Amino acid sequence: MPDVSTRLSLPYLMPSQAQKHVTHNEALQKLDALVQLAVEAFDSNTPPELPSGGSIYALGDNPVEEWAGHPNELAAWIDESWLFILPQEGWFALNKVTGGLMRRLGAQWLEVSPPDLSELDGLGVNANYDSTNRLSVSAPATLLNHEGAGHQLKLNKAATTDTASLLFQTGFSGRAEMGTAGEDNFAIKVSPDGSTWVDALVVDNANGNIGVQNANPEFPLDVDTLGRVSRTGGGCAFIVDRSDGSLSALHAGKNESSFLFSDTAPNGFQIRAQSRDNILLGTAAGSTEVFRITAAGALTVTGPVGQGGVVWTSGSGSPEGVVIAPVGSLYSRTDGAAGTSLYVKESGSGNTGWAAK
């Protein structure tokens, strides 16, 4: 039976040995030095003047003084003397100067570097990655935080015809997508099944024009579908304000809606649907009504009706004459010049026909 252990050279207690406690204590000293090994300095060749108890040094190639003759060994200051231990392949030790972990390789101590995480084939966080989804995360949420200022998430594509987008899925089937898909215009599109897609909104990257269900917007806001502005139980307004001061607006009250044309509100005029039964044309301020069309089709005109030199008005006296004709056959005509006359009787083929009362 050998006198020492194979790996750490710890002395064995022999059957006939006297003062077995000495041998036992020597083994404990080695264990105390090697377990959780922490080294004061590496490649040291000169002993410190006042070493502290339990301090350990990794010696270099040319140690001197009390360390002479022990190159590349460990020197442990124990019980006011140096205990020398020959390190073996694969031992680990903490470098107390740098805080790094050192590994014994051959006759050298080499720092253990963290694994190189660059050029990885993929990364799965609580998930498996594949050749397409090289970063895969399964989690309730994903946080991308700032580092003292702003934060950008960049999606870069190789060519215009490629896609850089954010895809929203249900059961891994697409339902909405936003980004530049197959072109450089920004688009938001939706799908009921992941196969058929509809462009809900497109922004032209050349001029900023916005298209609503219009892939090629020609105006700053180009809507290629029916639209509605509504609010239940209250009023709402859609206003277009031009830089030259002119204004148009679509306004909806609780029981009416109107389209307003105005240079500066409340000037101008408006077309208004009132109580869902009447259509009115009046001033922008709503104080004067010009004409009204009811749901039954009746037309009411307030004020004079004129075209060129022809003006129909209601006077302040009592009417004394009536011109009647078959429905839809009474015809008025003017030559368009100043001081023109109103003709209510025609001769020849197709004349209106009339009778005076």
- Tokens 């277009």 belong to 240
pLDDT at 309: 47
Answer yes or no: is pLDDT of 288 > 80.
no
Provide the residue range defining the domain that includes 317: 307-357
For residue 201, tell me if it sits in a domain: yes
Same domain assignment for residues 190 and 217: yes
Answer yes or no: is pLDDT of 348 > 60.
no
pLDDT at 107: 87
Diameter over CA atoms, the chain: 157
Domain count, the chain: 4
For residue 76, tell me if it sits in a domain: yes
CB 75 within 8 A of CB 83: yes
Q: How far is CA 241 from the centre of its chain?
A: 30
Hey, what long-range contacts does 152-155 have (CB within 8 A, 24 or more apart)?
Answer: 155/179
Same domain assignment for residues 252 and 299: yes
Same domain assignment for residues 95 and 43: yes
Same domain assignment for residues 298 and 313: no
Same domain assignment for residues 53 and 88: yes
Taking residues 194-202, report their average pLDDT.
95
Answer yes or no: is pLDDT of 117 > 90.
no
For residue 120, tell me if it sits in a domain: no
For residue 141, tell me if it sits in a domain: no
For residue 131, tell me if it sits in a domain: no
Same domain assignment for residues 43 and 107: yes
Residues 6 or more apart in contact with residue 141 via CB below 8 angstroms? none
Same domain assignment for residues 245 and 288: yes
For residue 174, tell me if it sits in a domain: yes
d(CA 30, CA 56): 11
For residue 1, tell me if it sits in a domain: no
Nearest CA to 338 out of 308, 314, 312 is that of 308
For residue 156, tell me if it sits in a domain: no
pLDDT in tens, 123-173: 999 999 999 999 999 999 999 999 999 999 999 999 999 999 999 999 999
Note the pTM of the prediction, 2 decimals. Answer: 0.52
**Least confident span in 81-90, 127-136, 180-189:** 81-90
Same domain assignment for residues 77 and 55: yes
Same domain assignment for residues 42 and 95: yes
Handedness of CA 184, 189, 193, 196 (dihedral sign): negative
Same domain assignment for residues 188 and 243: no
Nearest CA to 125 out of 147, 105, 149, 143 is that of 143
Q: Which residue has the higher pLDDT, 251 or 325?
A: 325
Same domain assignment for residues 44 and 96: yes
Buried b or exposed e, range 100-121, using 16+ CB within 10 angstroms: eebebeeeebeeeeeeeeeeee
